[in-house]
Chain A
């Protein structure tokens, strides 16, 4: 199946700094990618839909100025957590649809664990 890769898999940063997480579709083009966050023992929460060449669509309650999303190419979307604080510590996951099959299955990245000190 299609492969989605995230980088970094783990990142530790100081409070107040910004952190960028990359999501790449390795063997297919993805006009749309999705970003989620997951707290321990909880389900995935959709944060935003990343659209290639246009602005991301954010879910209700997600601050667009805090979680900057850029989808500059058909294989790369980035999520930047700006001025990170300890409450932003979470597991961030991206996914993409390769457009095949009935509705296209979602392919997920390995996830990126952010720890803000």
Chain B
């Protein structure tokens, strides 16, 4: 299983763009990169998934360099409600084995 490394915490202010980088040096060829958001006492919620290059949806963008050894979740114009823990997962979800790392606690300040 690919191990992931993320910053433990990040602070930001409302309206700013936030970029959270995840390192996954031993990512396998079949592995996808998925980011989840978790609020206290709730289950994680899917944000975005990608394999390579760039993926964008209505809430975030995911940048993956050619070597795929890292990825960056970009949250445009964050608000207070984006304060949460963000997890980067690497693996093949169909095989079931995606391991949660420590996650990044994002705190958005007014």
Contacts and interface: CB of A to CB of B under 8 A. Distances in A.
B72 interface: no
B34 interface: yes
B46 interface: yes
B100 A102 contact: no
Interface residues of A, number: 28
B63 interface: no
Nearest to B96: A49
B93 A97 contact: yes
A45 B96 contact: no
Contacts of A105: 34, 46, 49, 93
B45 interface: yes
A34 interface: yes
B94 A104 contact: yes
B101 A43 contact: yes
A102 B51 contact: yes
Given A93-B44, A108-B44, A111-B42, 7 more contacts: A43-B101, A44-B87, A46-B99, A101-B49, A102-B32, A106-B98, A113-B41
